Amino acid sequence: MNRPFIIASRESELAMWQAKFIQNKLEKLYPQHIFNIQGFKTQGDIILDQPLANIGGKGLFIKELEQAMLNGQADLAVHSMKDLPMDLPDGFELAAITEREDPRDAFISNKYNSLELMPKNSIVGTSSLRRQSQIKYYFPDLKVLPLRGNLQTRLQKLDDQQYDAIILAAAGLIRLGLKDRISAFIDKTLSIPAVGQGALGIEIIEGNQTMHEMISPLNHHLTAQCVKAERAFSRILAGSCTVPLGAHAYAQGNNIVIQGFVASPSGNRMIKEEVVVPNDQIENAGTLLGQKLINLGAKDILNTIE
């Protein structure tokens, strides 16, 4: 019998849910094969006492998984697309992007029903410069403090009253059956999502035609096109964990709408715009939006960050 295929994943409960989700899909497609999951602890999971932007950014969540593939310990890796750096290292490829779950940010609080109802000086926890900058821009009277750890750890910190509210990706809560913890979904006009938020990506060794052909049926064309447009936007603005920006693309009739912003970490400055293109021009949408923000002065904001 052929050896099992190994799916590499981070060890958090949410990451394992995502890996099992892909495992189930593959088992249904290929009942003649066995797919096992191997968990790995990444540097992003180990270093929890510093903001992600200060310790190397998104790549800290995937390096160990990529090394496992290089070493022959795994055949594919499952990632949250929002954790995937804009440029993959040489030798790897993104074989599929799955259909997106709800891309919005979620407001979670045991005291209040929305950001708008929080009193002055209330404490909001978030690990994201993107969220931080938007909260500070729209709600300057709130205090934003760092929040690291896996999803359950963050919820526990809220329950321990270290924060008055926290902001998390809605998709993760929904996937783990924790939708009832969501006090409110934050409108995308107030919190433009992270690039790729809500979608999963499957990474393989570049040129592995067998794996590419096996994984390709899991690719959701519209989601993949939208996420690629968002990533193009981020790439043109040098997007990373050290740059507060976000982008979200979605279908609207026969058009694709992509909204994006870039801001200073303090929230004092923000440039936000959108671009609408026909469906067949989606590959240009992210670049057009990025250039539009640059023309409006985005580079001035980026230069102050650097």
Q: Nearest CA to 42 among 83, 82, 70, 75?
A: 83
- Is residue 45 annotated as part of the catalytic site, yes or no? no
Q: Which residues of 99-116 are buried (b: 16+ CB within 10 A; e: fewer)?
A: ebbbbbbbbbbeebeebe
d(CA 105, CA 149) in angstroms, rounded, equals: 17
The encoded tokens of residue 285 equal: 């949408």
Q: Nearest CA to 245 among 166, 191, 171?
A: 191
Classify residue 22 by burial, with Cβ atoms within 10 Å: 0-12, 13-18, 19+: buried
Type of residue numbered 151? L
- Reported residue count of the chain is 306
Residue 241 C-beta-side C-alpha neighbours within 13 Å = 20
Residue 180 C-beta-side C-alpha neighbours within 13 Å = 1
Q: How far apart are the first and last CA of the chain?
A: 54
Give Cβ neighbours of residue 245 (< 8 Å, ≥ 6 apart). Answer: 130, 195, 234, 237, 239, 260, 261, 262, 263
* Whether the Cβ atoms of residue 164 and residue 111 lie closer than 8 Å to each other: yes
Residue tagged active-site, from 45, 83, 105, 164 = 83
Q: What is the dihedral of CA 162, 166, 171, 172, to 10 degrees?
A: -10
**Active site residues per annotation:** 83
